[in-house]
Structure formats: C-alpha cells, structure tokens
Amino acid sequence: MKKTIFTGAGVAIVTPFNSDLSVNYDKLGELIEYQIANGTDAIIICGTTGEASTLTDDEHREEIKFAVDKVAGRVPVIAGTGSNDTAYSIELTRYAKEVGADASLNVTPYYNKTTQRGLIKHFTAIADAVDLPMILYNVPGRTGMTITPDTYKELSKHPNIVATKEASGNLADVVRIKYLCGDDLDIYSGEDGLITPMLSLGAKGVISVLSNIKPRETHNICEEYFRGNVEASADLQIKHSNLVDALFCETNPIPVKAAMNILGFDVGECRLPLYEMSETNLAKLKAAIDEVK
C-alpha cells in the first residue's frame, strides 16, 4: 500500500499580489500561518487557485521554495508542477523535490491535450524522472480532457503516482476509479461542493478553494466524517453550499480573492486575463459570506 500524503482539507492557496502585481511574499507567509493555525492539513502551492498559469518561471520556483521553508515540515507542501509540456513538468517537479516539497500536483496537459495513451506516457515520464509522490489533477472544465477510469488504473500501478485530485464532478467515475484502483490510488475531492459525498466513496479529503476563507470549517467537514459523524459533516457541507456556489460563480480564483479582500486579507487583484467580479456576482458573494459568519 502506498503512503497517503495527507487526510483532511488541503488548501489550494491563492497567490497574493502587491498593487503592482508582484508577488507579496510577506502576505503569503501570513496566509500560510493562518491556514496552519486553523487546522489546514496541507498547503498546495502554485495550483490553479494560485494563478500558476501567469507566474513567471522564477516566481513559480520561488513560491514553492518559500512555502516549503515557511511551513517547515508542519504539514505537507504539495507543489503544482503541471504543464502541457512534459519536459517542463519534469524540470519543475525535479526542482520541487530538490527544495523539499512533499509531493507534486500534475494537471492533465491543456490546449495541446493528448490521447489516453499520451496521458499515460506523460505522467509516467514525470514519475519515472523524479522520485517524488505525485497527485494527478483531473479538471476537464479547465483542460478540455479527462482521465478515464481505465487510464487511472494503468497510472496507479506506478509507485510514485499515489493520488488524484478529482475535479470532474462525475461521482459515477469516482466509484469506478475506486473499484479499479483500490488502495493503489488515493482520491481527493477537487470540488468543494462534493466533499462529504466524495468522502463517502472513499476519498481521503479535499484540495480546497473554500479553505482559503474557511479553513477550520473545511477541515471539520472532513474531520467529522472521519470520526463517524456523517450527519455533522453533511450539515457543514450544506451550510456552506451558497458560499461554495458564490466562490465559483466566476472563474476561480476571481471570487475567492474578492472574498478574501472583503474579509480583510488584502491579497490584491488577479493578474490578467482574470478580471474583477461583476457587481451582481459581487453582491451574491457578499451575501453568501454574511450567511455563514
């Protein structure tokens, strides 16, 4: 059986920017401390929510190292190192291992995409090149392609491919993945609106956007379930459903950064092409925040 990287709620942490849109490392350090103090079980740095797609190569590497150094072993640090260029993914993943990340998060190749056979070759090449636990990331809404259950079965045979962040929203596929892969592949929910349902299908937790503003509550959705308090977990899931909907009413991380600024975290704007929320959706977000204060 492969070693589980973490159980519970890992935060897909935002990248805070200064007014000139440079990375605000002082603020990033504050956010990491806030997350750990409030029960977050892992820090996922330079993922979708961290705006990795608009970070320079130097910024991407610096953020990974900064997070590893700041966390200092208190919780696992998972570095987003995915790319649509296999060679570059290998290079970034190798760097993440060198600076002490506990695992990598590797998304399916976007834009150029590939076949299922190509996916197996892509992820296997990274896993062969770097002896670091890998979490696959299946988010077809972002990439235009999905990892099929049969492809998951093949990938789960590799000792370094240990888990997946499943953000397809397809619970029937999750059932099939669990059936085919068993203990060879841990599953994390990539959907904040499906944490409790995913846990009921054997998921180990969630890689969460919601955790940026509700770390303790997101952790508790998982913790209550693991303690056998399924109803309490479901109640927390349902209580935050309007907030989760509001956090995804525009492209992530536009709403979550807006929410954090409303709450006083001062994380700055998103980099273009992501742009500020519409007034209608901002009002919806504010109402959802007020509902669960």
Q: What residues act catalytically?
A: 137, 165
- Please report how the helices 57-71 and 25-37 are oriented relative to each other, as an axis angle in degrees rounded to 10: 40
CA–CA distance, 212 with 21 (Å, rounded to integer): 20
Q: Is the peptide bond before 273 cis (omega within 30 degrees of 0)?
A: yes
User: How many other C-beta atoms lie within 10 A of the C-beta of residue 6?
Assistant: 23
Q: Tell me the two tokens of residue 79.
A: 């570095």
Both tokens assigned to 251: 């492209």
Can you spell out the DSSP letters for 37-91?
HTT--EEEESSTTTTGGGS-HHHHHHHHHHHHHHHTTSS-EEEE---SSHHHHHH
Q: What is the phi-psi region of residue 278: left when phi exceeds 0, alpha when psi lies from -120 to 50, beta otherwise?
A: beta
3-state helix, strand, coil in the chain (%, to 5): 50, 15, 35
List of long-range contacts for 119-124, beta carbons under 8 Å, 24+ apart: 119/145, 119/147, 119/151, 119/155, 120/151, 120/154, 120/155, 121/86, 122/86, 122/89, 123/155, 123/158, 123/161, 124/155, 124/158, 124/161
Instruction: Supply 194's token pair.
Output: 């499906």
